[in-house]
């Protein structure tokens, strides 16, 4: 076999889903922020998780088949949040899938 033939016979790479990692700061704990984030993520068809961090921030890991719903969740975190929350900042990191998520959950 030639080198080119071997390259053609390799299995194609599996499609990687875009992912987004957020750290949300402000008054975001004790105000149902995780519950509302989960509901919003589910309505957008996202999978992943949301959790409180010891420093008072909230961490979100989300994946989707395309970037648009991820951007919508990011925008929701930045501009809306839960009714009693106050978001001071959102740190965003983009990547490709991290886990084998099947749904969106609230974790501890």
- pLDDT tens digits, one per residue of 44-76: 999 999 999 999 999 999 999 999 999 999 999
The two structure tokens encoding residue 100: 């084998």
Residues with active-site annotation: 34, 52
Helix (H) or strand (E) holding 93: strand 86-96
**Rounded to two decimals, what is the model's pTM?**
0.84
Report the C-alpha gap between 7 and 63 in whole angstroms.
30
In which band, very low, low, confident or very high, does the pLDDT at 1 lie, cut at 50, 70 and 90? very low
Residue 37's closest CA among 71, 68, 80, 67? 80
Task: List, for residues 2-26, the tens digit of each pLDDT value.
Answer: 444 444 444 444 557 899 999 999 9
Average pLDDT over residues 94-100: 81
What pLDDT was estimated at residue 11? 43
């Amino acid at each position: 076999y030639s080198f080119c033939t071997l390259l053609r016979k390799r299995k194609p790479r599996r499609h990687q889903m875009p992912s987004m990692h957020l750290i949300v700061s402000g008054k975001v704990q004790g105000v149902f922020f995780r519950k509302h984030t989960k509901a919003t993520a589910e309505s957008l068809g996202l999978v992943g998780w949301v959790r409180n961090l010891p420093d008072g921030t909230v961490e979100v890991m989300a994946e989707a088949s395309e970037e648009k719903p991820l951007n919508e969740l990011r925008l929701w975190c930045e501009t809306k949040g839960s009714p009693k929350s106050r978001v001071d900042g959102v740190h965003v990191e983009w990547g490709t899938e991290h886990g084998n998520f099947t749904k969106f959950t609230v974790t501890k």
